[in-house]
Amino acid sequence: MEVKVIEAKNNEIRLVEDILLIYVKDINLLRNMNKEQLVEFMFNENEIVKSLSFVREFKDSIRNCVFDIISVNELRDLIESKEVPLYSLIISTATYYKKIYLALKRNAIDEVSIECSKENFVNVISLVNNETRNVTIKCHDISLKEYSELLKDINVSNKNVKVDYQEANTPIKLNTLHDLSLFIGNIVSDINKYNLSDLEKIMYVYDIVKYRIYNKDEDNYLNNRDLDKVTSGNTIVCSGFSNLFNAILMSLDIKAMPLISKTANHQRSIVYVNDSKYDIDGIYVFDPTWDCRKKESENYYLERYNYFMMPLSRSKITAYDEISRLLEVNVKDIIKKIYGYSCNDEELMSGVFVLNELENLFGFAEIDIFNEHDDRLSSIMENYSNLVKKYDQNELSSTIFFKLLYRVRRIEFNNAAVSDIDLYDLISTVVSRELSIKRLEYDKDTSPIEKLLGLFMVEDDVKEIISKNIKSLEREITPNGVGIERDTTNIKLIKTLKKINEIK
């Protein structure tokens, strides 16, 4: 029998086939509680039981029925003889909890999963750390870098306890999680040494992740996907690229999550970019897989940003995703059907699923849809246009991308991630990205000559825009406006002086 404990607003217990669902406001309440105490606690917490004040004289009899001391028929005969109101409600409630009690009594609990908040994670670990059964703790609102600090005073040797730490990853043991947390934490500490804005951090992380070479383990897909495997081995596929990218960003307090395309059998990352330095506030898609290094000797990968910071509208052309599908449904019709009770059970379930998924999208975009009356459906309708705006972004202009690129490159040059900075290479990188965007605009009926001429025009336009504005751009992106050539010379000089001092 499997038991799932979920931190929730109300205390409640449900039995679904052979899975027991326990919803509890405070997980600590379960500490040292046996099966009978659990059922009795949940029985007393039931709103129906609380409302049946007029049958208090039968409470012991109802309890005896729940705990199989008397049968349902005996309870039924007793209540019928006293002509108690709401007879069927009392019987069904007693039968419901009796079924749960008997299931707990007759079946061994083989597996336990606990879904908790960040605030209760350490309490949950202390609650289960001596368990001999398999326990999985799910907590997706803790960034990877935080786990090492949370686990520092905890014995991480229990091999039965695993943590479901991030979406699209297999749960891992505590000691593995601790090591993985330290690994990600070191990367984050290194990035935080530089005074980078959020968007600059995103590009810096993108460059780190796309350094990896796509390499697939044909025998075990998890070796290509799970963070504990891809950070310690040399295999990685799209889900591994996305998971690593997301893990570092979330540890930098930047919202990121997997973006799944069932049609393309592909995983990208979707990121909430909120950066006042570049006047950007919206949701964008990133795909380090398709921009990654192709072989050991390749350096060109650093100039490849074809799938960096894609608006959802561009991303779905090459890999149609589940979020795009959600945003294309007619929400007004779904809500009308639910309000008007004009849908069948299948349509109702589908509609509720869509609304729940939309709630997640609102949360990711930091749009508050819970008004003072907690009217969920009307609030979704009122804020739906704001949601679409957040997910419907424009392309970065070539000048903004140029500024972003240089600011990140000078950090990478300073720490030897790149060997040099060349103005023409920077312009070439911007041009290459703009050409990749333009190619997607052509349909299959566009003639080769028309495509070629169009691409030539794009290249000329980008070069002209940057050349015309290069002086003002250099003043903005280099310290004291010294210009790119002087700035790179200064960095080289500083690096040389550091080496001389190290030799001394």
In this prediction, residue 27 has a pLDDT band, given cuts at 50, 70 and 90, of: very high
- Asked if the structure places residue 164 within a domain, the reply is no
Residue 144's pLDDT is 97
Alpha carbons 273 and 390: distance in angstroms, whole number = 10
Mean pLDDT of the chain, nearest integer: 93
Least confident of 146-160, 255-269, 335-349: 335-349
Q: Single out the residue in 385, 408, 426 at which a domain terminates.
A: 385
Q: Across residues 118-147, what is the average pLDDT?
A: 94
Is the confidence at residue 54, as pLDDT, over 60? no
Identity of the highest mean pLDDT range in 329-333, 395-399, 454-458: 395-399
Is the confidence at residue 53, as pLDDT, over 70? no
Residue 373's pLDDT is 59
Is the confidence at residue 344, as pLDDT, over 80? no
Residue 464's pLDDT is 96
Number of compact structural domains in the chain: 4
Q: Are strands 12-16 and 134-138 parallel, antiparallel or unpaired?
A: unpaired
Question: Under a CB-based contact definition with an 8 Å cutoff, are residues 268 and 242 in contact?
Answer: yes
**Residue at token pair 């405070």:** 26
pLDDT in tens, 231-264: 999 999 999 999 999 999 999 999 999 999 999 9
> What's the half-sphere exposure (Cβ side, CA atoms, 13 Å) at 53?
1
Question: Does 205 share its domain with 302?
Answer: yes
Question: Does 311 share its domain with 198?
Answer: yes
Comparison of pLDDT for 391 and 353, the residue scoring more: 391
Question: Under a CB-based contact definition with an 8 Å cutoff, are residues 234 and 215 in contact?
Answer: yes
Which pTM was predicted? 0.92
Is the confidence at residue 326, as pLDDT, over 80? yes
- Asked if the structure places residue 169 within a domain, the reply is no
Question: Most distant CA pair in the chain: distance in Å?
Answer: 100
Residue 267's pLDDT is 98
Q: Across residues 91-101, what is the average pLDDT?
A: 95
Is the confidence at residue 283, as pLDDT, over 90? yes
Least confident of 4-8, 298-302, 486-490, 500-504: 500-504
- Asked if the structure places residue 140 within a domain, the reply is no
Residue 372's pLDDT is 60
Question: Does 201 share its domain with 311?
Answer: yes
Least confident of 42-46, 151-155, 227-231, 297-301: 297-301
Is the confidence at residue 311, as pLDDT, over 60? yes
Is the confidence at residue 24, as pLDDT, over 80? yes
Question: Does 411 share its domain with 300?
Answer: no
- Asked if the structure places residue 489 within a domain, the reply is yes
pLDDT in tens, 484-498: 999 999 999 998 898
> What's the half-sphere exposure (Cβ side, CA atoms, 13 Å) at 72?
13
Residue 196's pLDDT is 98
Residue 289's pLDDT is 98
Q: Across residues 165-183, what is the average pLDDT?
A: 97
- What angle is formed at CA 216 by the lines to CA 213 and CA 220, rounded to 5 degrees? 140
In this prediction, residue 55 has a pLDDT band, given cuts at 50, 70 and 90, of: low
- What angle is formed at CA 467 by the lines to CA 464 and CA 470, rounded to 5 degrees? 145
Least confident of 50-59, 275-284, 347-356: 50-59
Q: What phi, psi does 2 have (nearest 5°)?
A: -105, 140
Question: Under a CB-based contact definition with an 8 Å cutoff, are residues 319 and 261 in contact?
Answer: yes
What single string gives the DSSP state of each residue in 123-168? HHHHHHTT-SSEEEEE-TTS-HHHHHHHTTTS----TTEEEE-STT
Question: Does 403 share its domain with 378?
Answer: no
In this prediction, residue 345 has a pLDDT band, given cuts at 50, 70 and 90, of: confident
Is the confidence at residue 456, as pLDDT, over 80? yes
- Is residue 154 packed enough to be buried (19+ CB in 10 Å), middle (13-18) or exposed (0-12)? middle
Question: Does 39 share its domain with 85?
Answer: yes
Nearest to 58 by CA among 40, 41, 42, 77: 77
Q: Across residues 128-155, what is the average pLDDT?
A: 94
Residue 130's pLDDT is 87
What single string gives the DSSP state of each residue in 217-276? -SS-THHHH-HHHHTTSS-B-HHHHHHHHHHHHHHTT--EEEEEETTTTEEEEEEEEEEG
Question: Does 63 share its domain with 17?
Answer: yes
Structure tokens at 344: 């069948």
Q: Across residues 312-319, what is the average pLDDT?
A: 97
- Asked if the structure places residue 145 within a domain, the reply is no
3-class secondary-structure state, position 13:
strand
Give the DSSP H or E segment for 305: none
Alpha carbons 153 and 420: distance in angstroms, whole number = 45
Is the confidence at residue 339, as pLDDT, over 80? no
Question: Does 198 share its domain with 317?
Answer: yes
Least confident of 61-75, 342-356, 379-393: 342-356
Question: Under a CB-based contact definition with an 8 Å cutoff, are residues 244 and 165 in contact?
Answer: no
- Asked if the structure places residue 44 within a domain, the reply is yes
For residue 372, what are the domain limits? 329-385
Q: What phi, psi does 240 have (nearest 5°)?
A: -70, -40
- Asked if the structure places residue 163 within a domain, the reply is no
Q: Across residues 27-43, what is the average pLDDT?
A: 94
- Asked if the structure places residue 278 within a domain, the reply is yes
pLDDT in tens, 395-449: 999 999 999 999 999 999 999 899 999 999 999 999 999 999 999 988 777 898 9
Question: Does 202 share its domain with 102?
Answer: no
Question: Does 242 share its domain with 333?
Answer: no
Question: Under a CB-based contact definition with an 8 Å cutoff, are residues 380 and 335 in contact?
Answer: yes
Q: Single out the residue in 267, 294, 321 at which a domain terminates.
A: 321
Is the confidence at residue 334, as pLDDT, over 80? yes
Q: Across residues 274-303, what is the average pLDDT?
A: 95
Give the DSSP H or E segment for 112: strand 111-115
Q: Across residues 213-226, what is the average pLDDT?
A: 97
Alpha carbons 495 and 452: distance in angstroms, whole number = 44
Residue 504's pLDDT is 66
Question: Does 311 share its domain with 252?
Answer: yes
Residue 333's pLDDT is 85
Question: Does 257 share its domain with 365?
Answer: no
- What angle is formed at CA 430 by the lines to CA 426 and CA 432, rounded to 5 degrees? 115
Q: Single out the residue in 321, 350, 372 at which a domain terminates.
A: 321
Q: What is the signed CA dihedral for 253, 238, 222, 236, rounded to 10 degrees? A: -90
